[in-house]
Amino acid sequence: MKKFVSGFTLIELMIVVAIVGVLAALAFPLYQEYVLKSQVGRVVGELSPYKSSFEARLSQSGSVTNADLGYVPSSLVLEGVGTDVATAQSDGSGHVEVTMGGNAHPNLAGVIVRLARSSTGTWRCVIDPAAASGWKNEFSPAACTVI
C-alpha cells in the first residue's frame, strides 16, 4: 500500500512567502501616506470648531486667547495651553494656527496648519509645509491651500 503524504512542498511555501512579501512591499508605503494624510486632516478637523469661538470673541473684543476659544491641545501639535493659537487683527481678520509636532509623524514635524479669517468674515484653510522634511501635496486635505 502506498502512503499519501499531504502538505506543501518547499517550493510552494517559498512562492507563497514571495507573494506575501511583494504585497507587503506595495502596501506599506500606501499605508504610511494614508497615516500622514489622516494626521493632517485630524489637525484641520480639531481646529475647525474654534472658528465659531473666534467669531464670538472677535465681536466682543479685539483679543482672542486660548481660554476664550476653549482650546484643548492636540497630541499632534506643539502648542500647549500656554501658547495662544489665535491672532485677531483690528480689521476683523485673523487666524487660528498650530504647528505639527508632538506625536505627529516625523515627516510632518514643522507643518503649520492655519485657518485664516479675512476681514469680510470668510475662512480658508492654509497649510505651510516649508519646515517639513517629507511633505507631499497629497497629504493636504482637499479644502486646504498649500503655500
The number of angstroms, rounded, from the C-alpha of 101 to the middle of its chain's C-alpha atoms is: 10
CA distance readout (Å), 34 to 1, 40, 41, 74, 129: 58, 10, 10, 19, 17
The residues spanned by each domain of the chain are 10-146
Residue 1, pLDDT > 70, answer no
10-146 fold: Glycoprotein, Type 4 Pilin (3.30.700)
Annotate 86-123 with DSSP letters as a single string: EEE-TTS-EEEEEEB-TTS-GGGTT-EEEEEE-TTS-E
- CA-based end-to-end distance of the chain: 78
Residue 26, pLDDT > 80, answer yes
Per-residue confidence (pLDDT) for residue 84, from 0 to 100: 86
Per-residue confidence (pLDDT) for residue 55, from 0 to 100: 87
| Lowest-confidence pick of 25-39, 70-84, 90-104, 122-136 | 70-84
Per-residue confidence (pLDDT) for residue 29, from 0 to 100: 85
Which residues have a Cβ under 8 Å from the Cβ of 84 and sit 6 or more positions away? 64, 65, 66
Which residues have a Cβ under 8 Å from the Cβ of 144 and sit 6 or more positions away? 44, 113, 125, 126, 127
- Across the range 10-37, mean pLDDT stands at 92
Q: What percent of the chain has pLDDT over 90?
A: 47
- pLDDT tens sequence across 65-91: 888 888 888 899 988 777 888 988 888
| Rounded CA separation 31/101 (Å) | 20
Residue 30, pLDDT > 80, answer yes
- Across the range 106-115, mean pLDDT stands at 92
